[in-house]
Amino acid sequence: MSGFLQNTFNGLVGGAFYALLALGLAVIFGMLRVVNFAHGAFYMLGAFGAYVLLAEAGVPFWAALVIMPLALGLLGMVLERAVIHRLTRLDPLYNFLLTFGLTLILQDLVKSRYGVQSSPYATPTELSGSVDFGLFDFPTYRVFILGFTVLLCAVVWWVLGRTRVGMVVRAATERPELTRAFGIDVGKWVTPVFGFGIALAGLAGVLAAPMRAVNPLMGADLIIVVFAVVVIGGLGSIFGSVAAGFGIGLIQAWGEAYLSDFPIVSQTVVFVVMAAVLLWRPAGLFGREEAPA
Amino acid sequence: MRRSVGVAAASAAAVLVAGCGGGGPQSGGDSKLTGDKIVLGVLNDQSGAYSELSGRNSVKAVEMAIADFKAKYGDKAVTKNISVETADHQNKPDVANSKAQEMYDRKGVDAILDVPTSSAALKVADVAKEKKKLYFNIGAATTDLTGKSCNKYTFHYAYDTYMLAHGTGTVTTEQVGKNWYILYPNYAFGQDMEKSFSAAITAAGGQVVGKDGAPFPNTSGDYSSFLLKAPTLNPKPQVLGTMQAGAELVNVVKQYNEFKLRDKGVGLAVGLMFITDIHSLTPAALAGTTYTDAWYWNFDQQNREWADKFQKETGTRPSFAHAANYSAAMQYLEAVQAAGTDDADTVVKALEGKEVNDLFLRNGKIRAEDHRVIHDAYLAQVKPQAEVGEPWDYVKILKTIPAAEAFRAPSADCKM
């Protein structure tokens, strides 16, 4: 029983990373209709930035948790203004080429300066213990990630659901043409929303640094699964991407724990789920079919 | 006057050294080298996962060997015209194949060195056999290079899966704990390592109470379900043996520490680790971990002096792969010097059965039967952070494993 709870807990922690990344992808896709293939690179930059801040300036984890998302959010806004916004009217192939190329550039910049070897990043001492839940104990750092992510998703949820800004973003995400028709200037929200999505990716990266290998390719490995998560949740659906993120984390953890004699299963379960969902609901679990143009 | 005394002394030393090294014809100007030059080829990973532990710094190590060779023989050197060609095989067997052909055919390379990644290494062995040119493998671990894929022109230098398993598996079972849980990446290298380790553990009187093949590559980067399982097995394992490498090893170790398995009585043994891995994980994360090392830069004065020179060139301390590249280049040049020719068959004869002691090879012997180069290996343990006196001095050597014991006997699968 305690083993099952521990594995469930782990699944949710893994899912928290998927949820943070998928949430950013979903709002960006919703507003800009751009599939951001560079999302994994920004996740990597978040983790690497935390390492560089610590190693070269002595900036601790907690400060990095604020600095990196802000810095990357800003970088995201600059990139959106400089290049990304030129894509929105073009064939989606261009957006694939641009954001994928951006990934390669960012990865190689980091690689040329810091090499391919993983960089060290220790768990902050305040979070290095473990929490005793009676039936089982669990690393404090993982408890923190889970609590922090759930809180963050709740705040985003509240902002989107209860504020005027949220209303515009939701409307523009789900029905951009109709929103424009109501006289709302969707254009001025595009840049900050892109920056916000990138900031979330950077935040996930900082959170990952103490428990995962920090190297230039860490985002490239993860992003494939995150795309599957977004598709399962429904492209552009904010709630769907968060729910699917946690769900896939759980399925993966259970698969690894109870089907470890069939490693191929735990590795492919995400894509099996994606295929099944798409057969049943072509727009994803919480997505809606785009209205024909 | 002073200069000619120096030259005379150097030549006398050269004659003496060459004499001790097995003799052979001395040749000055009248050498039988093709094009009156020697070209060494370093074919390895220059931008990917193995570029730090080998990569461009292996090229530097080979250049250091050439410089030392020239200094040693001076005017008596078989040629002064020695150069290095290098190429990046990106860890892809097909790229390794075509680069090796290009090196032998068009760049005039006499011997290829390094070639990490077992699948790529085996391809180059085929090319060497076909072109009848020398090949010293350093970076790859597969025992097939001296087993069913052995050939007359291929030498396997630094290490292999048998050496790793025999050292770490045997000694850790005898000294740390009998019950093991093995976690391995589920592909050729990991499966080979798991088999070698299980065999060594059982032979040493231990048992494998559980083993799991983790997905490779593990896109989620998470090993928690395996790590949670380890202490719950019955009987409880005293050792977690991880066969992961590179970034995957980093993930396993970070999470091993997160779940505090050492406090729960499960020690850590690593199948394959390079000093660069310890550097990226920090010794604090690995303190107490045992592994088998083929060479350690701070083992004795000789190693340290060379490591100082290497650091001046590269800014970092050498891994065992760097030292082995230096040694292989040097032994090849010595063999050509002794033979007076770069004819591959003659050089192979000069190398076969030779007993060597150099920077890397301690009690070394180039075995004639299967071209396995045997030498002392070491059981190493990562020091606690408090005992790390200077950067990169991360391990203490628990035990020297004698050359004859460290490597397997020639395999019946090898037919030259």
pLDDT in tens, B342-376: 999 999 999 999 999 999 999 999 999 999 999 99
CB-based contact A118 B280, cutoff 8 Å: yes
Give the per-residue pLDDT at B1: 41
pLDDT in tens, A220-266: 878 989 999 999 998 878 889 999 999 999 998 888 888 877 767 77
Q: Which of A14, A111, A212 sits opposite B251 (nearest CB)?
A: A212
- The proportion of chain B whose per-residue pLDDT surpasses 90, expressed as a percent, equals 76
Calculate mean pLDDT across residues B69-86: 95
Residue B411 per-residue DSSP state: P
Q: Which of B53, B221, B225 sits opposite A7 (nearest CB)?
A: B225
Min Cα distance B397 → chain A (Å) is 24
Tokens matching residue B225:
């379900």
Min Cα distance A87 → chain B (Å) is 30
- Please, how many CA atoms are within 13 Å of residue B245, restricted to the half-sphere of its CB? 19
Task: Identify which of A73, A107, A292, A61 has the alpha carbon closest to the alpha carbon of residue A215.
Answer: A107
Report yes or no: B263 and B350 within 8 Å, Cβ to Cβ: no
Report yes or no: B267 and B176 within 8 Å, Cβ to Cβ: yes
Range in B208-222, B251-265, B277-291 the model is least confident about: B208-222
ω into A92 cis (within 30 of 0): no
Give the position of tokens 């104990």: A137
- What's the pTM? 0.83
pLDDT in tens, B240-259: 999 998 788 989 999 999 99
Burial status of residue A154 (CB atoms within 10 A of its CB: 0-12, 13-18, 19 or more): exposed
CB-based contact A222 B221, cutoff 8 Å: yes
Of the residues B278, B280, B314, the best mutation for testing chain A's interface (the one with the most A CB atoms within 10 Å of its CB) is B280
Of the residues A2, A18, A117, A271, the best mutation for testing chain B's interface (the one with the most B CB atoms within 10 Å of its CB) is A117
Report yes or no: A20 and B242 within 8 Å, Cβ to Cβ: no
Q: How many whole angstroms separate alpha carbon B319 and alpha carbon B369? A: 28
Mean pLDDT (chain A) is 89
Q: Tell me which of B118 and A197 has the higher pLDDT.
A: A197
Give the per-residue pLDDT at B13: 47
Q: Which of B229, B247, B258 sits opposite A211 (nearest CB)?
A: B258
CB pairs under 8 A between A and B: 107
Give the per-residue pLDDT at B21: 41
pLDDT in tens, A28-70: 888 888 889 999 999 999 999 999 999 999 999 999 999 999 9
Q: Tell me which of A172 and B319 has the higher pLDDT.
A: B319
Instruction: Give the residue on B whose Cα is nearest the Cα of A6.
Output: B228
- Taking CB atoms and an 8 Å cutoff, what residues of chain B touch A256? 214-215, 222, 225-226
Q: Which of A130, A139, A213 sits opposite B251 (nearest CB)?
A: A213
* Cα–Cα distances in angstroms (integers) from residue A130 to residues A73, B251, B257, B259, B286, in the given order: 32, 19, 11, 8, 19
Calculate mean pLDDT across residues B122-137: 97
Among A45-49, A188-192, A264-268, B90-94, the range with the most confident prediction by mean pLDDT is A45-49
Please name the residue ranges forming H helices in B106-238.
118-131, 161-164, 171-175, 188-203, 224-229
Give the per-residue pLDDT at A270: 86
Burial status of residue B304 (CB atoms within 10 A of its CB: 0-12, 13-18, 19 or more): middle
User: Which region, left, alpha or beta, applies to residue B294 given φ > 0 means left and ψ of -120 to 50 means alpha?
Assistant: alpha
Q: Above 70 in pLDDT, residue B132?
A: yes
Please name the residue ranges forming H helices in B259-413.
275-281, 283-286, 301-314, 320-339, 344-351, 403-406
Give the position of tokens 């992003």: A223
Q: How many whole angstroms separate alpha carbon A267 and alpha carbon A258? A: 13
Give the per-residue pLDDT at B5: 47
* Cα–Cα distances in angstroms (integers) from residue B413 to residues B121, B371, B408, in the given order: 18, 13, 13
Q: How many whole angstroms separate alpha carbon B390 and alpha carbon B307? A: 14
Residue B78 binned pLDDT confidence (cut-offs 50, 70, 90): very high
Min Cα distance A52 → chain B (Å) is 13
Name every residue in B having a CB less than 8 A away from some CB of A. Answer: 47-49, 51-53, 186, 212-215, 217, 219-222, 224-226, 228-229, 232, 246-248, 250-251, 254-255, 257-260, 276-277, 279-282, 284-285
Q: What is the dihedral of CA A101, A104, A107, A109, to 10 degrees?
A: -80
CB-based contact B213 A263, cutoff 8 Å: yes
Strands B239-242 and B267-270: parallel
Q: Above 90 in pLDDT, residue B12?
A: no
Which ipTM value was assigned to this complex?
0.86
- Please, how many CA atoms are within 13 Å of residue B251, restricted to the half-sphere of its CB? 25
Give the per-residue pLDDT at B221: 82
Report yes or no: A121 and A54 within 8 Å, Cβ to Cβ: yes
Tokens matching residue A81:
């203004």
Give the per-residue pLDDT at A255: 85
CB-based contact A211 B226, cutoff 8 Å: no
Report yes or no: B24 and B18 within 8 Å, Cβ to Cβ: yes
Give the position of tokens 């709870």: A5
Of the residues A6, A7, A12, A118, the best mutation for testing chain B's interface (the one with the most B CB atoms within 10 Å of its CB) is A118
Helix A140-162 to helix A164-174 angle, to the nearest 10 degrees? 90
Q: Above 60 in pLDDT, residue A134?
A: yes
